[in-house]
C-alpha cells in the first residue's frame, strides 16, 4: 500500500492572529485549535465574564522523541500559567510570554502521553481559568531489531518491530529510496519479511498511526548477508615447549561458539567444558602422544533458535616437538611487584631470533621491535602488561612452527588493593582518606585537580583532608624510583556541607559512584544522584530490591542504574535469580518439613533482616513469581495451619 501526499490537518495552534482577538466575542465562543467552536466555555474560578479563552489546545500527536506545542489564547494579559495534569502533577510554569501577553505556549513531550492535561491561566495571583482536558498521543517504536542476518538455508529473514499503538498499516522502503512492499501488521507488531534482494541494504519502515501521508513514524533495520562461520587462521601453539609434555593449541574464530571438540581421525580426544560460551578463540590441551598425527578442531554454533547446530571444522594440524637445536639457556623470571628487589625481566636463547614476542592467553602476543632484545625494565613491563601468565616466543625461521617457547612466568602488576573513598564532611572538619597498594611505594604524592598538591610519606596509607577549594584528588604511588613508574588512584572528592550526611552500605559485588559529588563515595546528602553497578555474574542477577534498599531505582532490572539519595542511611540490596528448588516448596531451611521456622525465615528476608541464599529463596518462592514477598509468607502460613496446602510444582 502506498500513499500520496495530502495536506496534514494541524492539531495545535502555533500562531494566533492578534487581529482575531479584537473581535467582540462572548465567553461562550470558546474554540479548540484544529476543531470546531465549543458549545460552552470552561468553568472558571472567577465570576467576571471578561476572563475566557479564545482558543484551546486539542489533542497533540508526537512522533518518537519529538516535542510539540500546546497553545491557548485568552482574553486578558495573564499573570502566570501552568501546564498541569488531572492527577496533580505540574509539568511547567511560565510568568510571561515573549510574543503576546495573551498567548500561552507550553512544550509537550512523549513522557506526558496518556495523561489528562490542562492549561491553567491566572488573571490574578489566585484567580484562574482552565482549558478543557487534552492529551498527548506519543507514537513510539518500543522494539527495533536494528539488524537482521539472513538465514544460511534459504537466504530469508524477518524483522519484527513493536510499537506502543496499533498501526493502521506499514510500508518498507530502501533507505532514502524506492518502495519495496507492505509490512504485516498484527496488533502492535509490524513484521517485515526479508529476502536476498535486501541483502547488505539498510531499510526504513514507515509505520502509520493515521491516514494522512505524514502520519507515520520511521524505524530502520540493516539486513546482513547470511553468516558463514569459519576459523580465522591456522591453529596456533602447535609446538610443545621443551621439557613439557603437552601444548595448549588455539583456534581463532570469527564467531562465538557454544561448544567444541578436537578430533584425531574419528576419535574425539578433547571436549570443551559444559555450560561455557566461547567468544573469539578456543583452547585445548594436546599431549605429546598425538605428535605426528593429523588433528582438527570442530566448533558448534547455534545460529538460530530451535535449529540444529552449525558445525565448522578447522584446517588439519599437527603438534610437534620443540627444535632440539634451539634452546632457552635462561628462562624468564617472574615479575611480581609484591616481592622486593624486582628490577627487570630477562631471558636468553642460544641463537639470534628473527622475531621475539610476548605471548599470553594462548593467542595474544606483542612482538618486540628488536628481536635480539632479552631484557625489559620493570617500569616498561608494568606499563604495558597486566597480571597474567606469559611465555617468551623466539622464532629461528619463517615457518609457522619455527619457534621455541619459554617456560611460563607470572606477572603481578602494581595496583591499589583498596582505593581511596571520598564523600561528605561537615564544614570545618577533616576527612580521613585511606588506601592500600600491593607493593611498598618508594614515593607518594597527592594531586588536586590534576596538579601536584603535596608529597606524602612513602609508607603512608591515609591522609586527612578538608577539601577546601579542591574539586577532586588523586594519589600517585611510585613502585620504582623512576618518573614513569607509578600508578594513580581513582579520583575522589571531599565535599563540605552543612546538610545532614547519610551513609550507604554495599557489598563486594556492588560498585557505587556519587554523580552529584563526582566521587566514589559511601556517603551522600539528600537528592544526590548515585550510579550503581552489579559486579557479580550476570547470570545470577535478577533485580535491585528497591523496597529493602529504601530507594527508587531508575531501572531495577538493569545491572547498571541510578537512584536519588533519600533522607536516611541506605543499604543497597539486590535479588539473585531463583534457582529451581532442590526440595519442597515452602521448606525454606530444607529440613524436610514445612513449619513455623520456614515462616520466620521468609519473613526475615522480606523485612530485610536476614537474606536467604539462592536455594532457600527458590524454596521460599512458593508462587514462583521470581520474588519473595508477603504472598509467599501467607501461603507458607496457610500450609502450616492446614488451611491450604502448597501444591508442589
The per-residue pLDDT for range 105-129, each reduced to its tens digit, is: 999 988 888 889 999 999 999 999 9
* Mean pLDDT across 309-316: 92
Task: Give yes or no for residue 582 having a pLDDT over 80.
Answer: no
Task: Give yes or no for residue 269 having a pLDDT over 50.
Answer: yes
- Rounded to the nearest integer, the mean pLDDT of the chain is 86
Strands 80-85, 117-122: pairing kind: antiparallel
Could you tell me if residue 605 is left (phi over 0), alpha (psi between -120 and 50 degrees) or otherwise beta? alpha
Over residues 482-527, the pLDDT tens digits come to 888 999 999 999 999 999 999 999 887 899 999 998 888 999 999 9
Burial 485-496 (b: 16+ CB within 10 A, else e): bbbebbbbbbbe
Task: Give yes or no for residue 309 having a pLDDT over 90.
Answer: no
CA dist 231 and 315 (Å) reads 8
Q: What DSSP letter does each residue of 237-276 carry, written as one string?
A: --EEPTT-SEEEEEEEBSS-BSEEEEEETTEEEEEPPTT-
Instruction: Using pLDDT thresholds of 50, 70 and 90, give the confidence band for residue 233.
Output: confident
| pLDDT on residue 369 | 95
Task: Give yes or no for residue 611 having a pLDDT over 80.
Answer: no
How many residues can be counted in the chain? 649
Nearest Cα to 104, choosing from 117, 113, 115?
117
Alpha-helical regions (H) of 541-629: 546-549, 596-606, 614-620
| pLDDT on residue 420 | 95
pTM: 0.59
CA dist 599 and 589 (Å) reads 10
CA dist 359 and 390 (Å) reads 6
Task: Give yes or no for residue 66 having a pLDDT over 90.
Answer: no
| pLDDT on residue 31 | 31
In which element (H, E) is residue 296 found? strand 295-301
* Mean pLDDT across 247-260: 90
Highest mean pLDDT among 68-77, 253-262, 554-563, 588-597: 68-77
**Least confident residue range of 30-39, 374-383, 561-570:** 30-39
| pLDDT on residue 581 | 63
Instruction: Using pLDDT thresholds of 50, 70 and 90, give the confidence band for residue 130.
Output: very high
Q: Which residue has the higher pLDDT, 630 or 568?
A: 568
**Least confident residue range of 29-38, 239-248, 336-345, 468-477:** 29-38
* Mean pLDDT across 179-205: 95
Strands 364-367, 335-336: pairing kind: unpaired
- Alpha carbon separation from 205 to 93, 217, 425 (Å, rounded): 38, 8, 55
| pLDDT on residue 34 | 33
| pLDDT on residue 578 | 59
| pLDDT on residue 401 | 95
Q: Which residue has the higher pLDDT, 64 or 215?
A: 215
Q: Which long-range contacts (CB under 8 A, 24 or more apart) does 428-434 make?
A: 428/496, 429/466, 430/464, 430/465, 430/466, 431/464, 431/465, 431/466, 431/467, 431/494, 432/462, 432/463, 432/464, 433/462, 433/463, 433/464, 433/465, 433/473, 433/492, 433/494, 434/461, 434/462
Task: Give yes or no for residue 313 having a pLDDT over 90.
Answer: yes
Amino acid at each position: 500500500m502506498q500513499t500520496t501526499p495530502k495536506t496534514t490537518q494541524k492539531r495545535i495552534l502555533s500562531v494566533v492572529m492578534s487581529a482575531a482577538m479584537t473581535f467582540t466575542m462572548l465567553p461562550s465562543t470558546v474554540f479548540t485549535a484544529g476543531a470546531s467552536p465549543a458549545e460552552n466555555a470552561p468553568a472558571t474560578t472567577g465570576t467576571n465574564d471578561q476572563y475566557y479563552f479564545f482558543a484551546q489546545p486539542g489533542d497533540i500527536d508526537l512522533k518518537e522523541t519529538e516535542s510539540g506545542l500546546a497553545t491557548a489564547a485568552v482574553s486578558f494579559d495573564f499573570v502566570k500559567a501552568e501546564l498541569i495534569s488531572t492527577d496533580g502533577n505540574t509539568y511547567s510554569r511560565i510568568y510571561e510570554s515573549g510574543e503576546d501577553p495573551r498567548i500561552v505556549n507550553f512544550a509537550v513531550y512523549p513522557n506526558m502521553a496518556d495523561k489528562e492535561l490542562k492549561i491553567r491561566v491566572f488573571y490574578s495571583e489566585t484567580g484562574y481559568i482552565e482549558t478543557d482536558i487534552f492529551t498527548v498521543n506519543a507514537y513510539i517504536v518500543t522494539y527495533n531489531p536494528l539488524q537482521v542476518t539472513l538465514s544460511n538455508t534459504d537466504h530469508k529473514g524477518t524483522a519484527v518491530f513493536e510499537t506502543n499503538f496499533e498501526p493502521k498499516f506499514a510500508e518498507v522502503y530502501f533507505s532514502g529510496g524506492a518502495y519495496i512492499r507492505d509490512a504485516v501488521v498484527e496488533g502492535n507488531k509490524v513484521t517485515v519479511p526479508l529476502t536476498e534482494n535486501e541483502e547488505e541494504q539498510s531499510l526504513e519502515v514507515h509505520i502509520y498511526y493515521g491516514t494522512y501521508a505524514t502520519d507515520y513514524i520511521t524505524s530502520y533495520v540493516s539486513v546482513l548477508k547470511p553468516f558463514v562461520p569459519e576459523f580465522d587462521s591456522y591453529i596456533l601453539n602447535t609446538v610443545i615447549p621443551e621439557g613439557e609434555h603437552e601444548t595448549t593449541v588455539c583456534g581463532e574464530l570469527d564467531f562465538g561458539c557454544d561448544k567444541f571438540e578436537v578430533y584425531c581421525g574419528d576419535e574425539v580426544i578433547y571436549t570443551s567444558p559444559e555450560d561455557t560460551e566461547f567468544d573469539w578463540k578456543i583452547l585445548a590441551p594436546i599431549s605429546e602422544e598425538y605428535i605426528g598425527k593429523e588433528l582438527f578442531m570442530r566448533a558448534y554454533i547455534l545460529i538460530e533458535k530451535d535449529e540444529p547446530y552449525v558445525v565448522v571444522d578447522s584446517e588439519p594440524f599437527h603438534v610437534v616437538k620443540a627444535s632440539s637445536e634451539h634452546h632457552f639457556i635462561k628462562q624468564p623470571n617472574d615479575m611480581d611487584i609484591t616481592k622486593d628487589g624486582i628490577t627487570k625481566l630477562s631471558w636468553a636463547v642460544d641463537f639470534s631470533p628473527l622475531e621475539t614476542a610476548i605471548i599470553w592467553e594462548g593467542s595474544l602476543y606483542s612482538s618486540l621491535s628488536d628481536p635480539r632484545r632479552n631484557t625489559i625494565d620493570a617500569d616498561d613491563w608494568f606499563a604495558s602488561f597486566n597480571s597474567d601468565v606469559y611465555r617468551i616466543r623466539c622464532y629461528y625461521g619463517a615457518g609457522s612452527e619455527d619457534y621455541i617457547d619459554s617456560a611460563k612466568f607470572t606477572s603481578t602488576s602494581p595496583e591499589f588493593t583498596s582505593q581511596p573513598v571520598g564523600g561528605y564532611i561537615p564544614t570545618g572538619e577533616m576527612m580521613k582518606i585511606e588506601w592500600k597498594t600491593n607493593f611498598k611505594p618508594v614515593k607518594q604524592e597527592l594531586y588536586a585537580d590534576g596538579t601536584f598538591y603535596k608529597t606524602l610519606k612513602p609508607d603512608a596509607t591515609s591522609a586527612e583532608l578538608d577539601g577546601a577549594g579542591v574539586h577532586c584528588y588523586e594519589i600517585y604511588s611510585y613502585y620504582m624510583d623512576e618518573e614513569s613508574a607509578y600508578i594513580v588512584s581513582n579520583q575522589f572528592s571531599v565535599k563540605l556541607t552543612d546538610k545532614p550526611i547519610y551513609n550507604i552500605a554495599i557489598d563486594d559485588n556492588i560498585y557505587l559512584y556519587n554523580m552529584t559529588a563526582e566521587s566514589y563515595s559511601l556517603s551522600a546528602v539528600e537528592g544526590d544522584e548515585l550510579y550503581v553497578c552489579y559486579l557479580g555474574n550476570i547470570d545470577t542477577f535478577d533485580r535491585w530490591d528497591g523496597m529493602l534498599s529504601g530507594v527508587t531505582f531508575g531501572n531495577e532490572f538493569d545491572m547498571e542504574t541510578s537512584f536519588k539519595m533519600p533522607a536516611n542511611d541506605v543499604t543497597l540490596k539486590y535479588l539473585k535469580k531463583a534457582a529451581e528448588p532442590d526440595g519442597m516448596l515452602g521448606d525454606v531451611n530444607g529440613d524436610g518439613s514445612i513449619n513455623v521456622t520456614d515462616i520466620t525465615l521468609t519473613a526475615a528476608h522480606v523485612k530485610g533482616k536476614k537474606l536467604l541464599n539462592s536455594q532457600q529463596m527458590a524454596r521460599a518462592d512458593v508462587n514462583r513469581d521470581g520474588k519473595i514477598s508477603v504472598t509467599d509468607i501467607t501461603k507458607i502460613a496457610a500450609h502450616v495451619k492446614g488451611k491450604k496446602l502448597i501444591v508442589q510444582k
